[in-house]
Chain A
């Protein structure tokens, strides 16, 4: 087999450059590619434009000063509604923002994946999303109705980071959770896709029902990184729930003197293997109950 896209996290992240626009899959505290985020935290990368339905991925990148600009609709950890490091960055004016409605955001990714410059939508009209994003323009229907829409520009990504349950070395992926969110759109919108996976197989050989869990085609994928526990501390259905204890600790660090530096020292600088040991290993992951809503 000629195709082997498997790389270490460090090798995969080495393909990223300062100033890139990077999309991060998942949603809030759900199925975030946190092992790849931690690898970015350890790298010298800077001045990133981060595009995310944001959770602790955004908070940590803000805390580490990696973010020049954030393109987002929200940042939250759900059970802890307000993300502390996002708030700090936002309230101190440390980051530029491009704020969209959740659906406009989807539309932007979709436009990029379809190689369109924009897609029309009613959403955003009569709100300050237009006022705060002066680059946004409206467009009138060329048909008899003449209705005026927002022309939501394509959210083109230099790279996308996505975490999945299973993958193979060719770049085939399976998402086994209840919802695939918008990861397929991130993959289509990006020039370069890095997938991290709980398990990496030599070659997936699937029955038809399982093959339906494949969210996007392997030709979109450039790197496959083995990362067991790679979504921790976020929720990866059906493997493990979010780690509230860890998220609380992370949240508390934001109000401690030098709290982020301590978090980094304990959980980031040590490397991914030591991180997984620190949080209690596979045994602890298996004990993290799936959230009940």
Chain B
């Protein structure tokens, strides 16, 4: 990779995110916002071509669509390769049938994997901060596989108690009454700017699976509002390969990934 600029942290997170979609089978891969979307796109172009993807509007495409302006199609600009239709109504049908793996960035996450995208603060009637609303989180989280994305790993995201407005469900037993079907809840990865976490601890407890280069477990623990476990084989999040970097940079010609993290740091922090 001599002729390539060194990988950025955003690019390392894209590669880490793409791992979420490995061996999922034929499901709709929905990466919401720049890094998750590039992660899903990279997965489809490398280890998991069987994934379905959309143009992020209303069509299924056989090849991930590059981000941002595509130029004039009559003059060599990118033309999406449509293979089917996926209106919002069909996305809902897909969700309820469970054939989807979405990765989104919630405002808050708690130790049970519950997420909040609605309102922050103790008073729901008069929240300190109104965010977007619960959106599709209740449905996504109870119907299909989900992963999470956190560009700013800190205790305001990974909260000490329960999230303020449980939008996406998790593994808190008290939330599940008799007869409620929890079988389809399937939380996989949390990709942050410090590490990758999963839910493989006892009773789905959150574990640190890998640390990004130059990050210590203690640093992650300090930035998290609840106690974390370490994977037995806790390792370092791999740097992108030259092949992966080339694909990412082709998919994101306007470098939108460079605007996600403050100052767009390099993957190897020592190089900063």
Contacts and interface: CB of A to CB of B under 8 A. Distances in A.
Interface in B105-152: 118-119, 124-139, 141-143
Interface in A54-74: 54, 72-74
B143 A129 contact: no
A93 interface: yes
23 contacts: A74-B132, A90-B130, A91-B126, A91-B129, A91-B130, A99-B134, A101-B134, A103-B95, A106-B92, A122-B142, A122-B180, A122-B181, A123-B142, A125-B177, A126-B166, A127-B138, A127-B141, A128-B165, A128-B167, A129-B138, A178-B58, A180-B89, A293-B57
Contacts, number: 137
A93 B58 CA distance: 36
Nearest to B54: A293
A263 interface: no
Instruction: Tell me which of A101, A121, A292 has the highest count of chain B C-beta atoms within 10 A of its own C-beta.
Output: A101
Interface stretch (B1-9, B15-23, B39-47, B168-176): B168-176
Interface in A66-108: 72-76, 81-82, 86-87, 90-93, 99-104, 106
A44 interface: no
Given A93-B125, A179-B58, A181-B88, A99 B136 contact: no
Instruction: Tell me which of A86, A103, A126, A182 has the highest count of chain B C-beta atoms within 10 A of its own C-beta.
Output: A126
Interface of A: 27, 54, 72-76, 81-82, 86-87, 90-93, 99-104, 106, 121-129, 131-132, 138, 140, 146-148, 178-182, 292-293
Contacts of B181: 122, 147-148
Contact of B179 (A27, A93, A127, A140): A140
A144 to B, nearest CB: 12
Interface string B44-85: 000000000001111100000100111000000000000000
Contacts of B56: 293
Interface in B157-197: 165-170, 172, 175-182, 184
Q: Is the interface of B mostly helix, strand, loop or mixed?
A: loop
A100 B133 CA distance: 8
Instruction: Tell me which of B65, B129, B133, B184 has the highest count of chain A C-beta atoms within 10 A of its own C-beta.
Output: B133
A211 to B, nearest CB: 18
B133 to A, nearest CB: 3
Contacts of B87: 178-181
A37 B118 CA distance: 25
A100 B134 contact: yes
A226 to B, nearest CB: 27
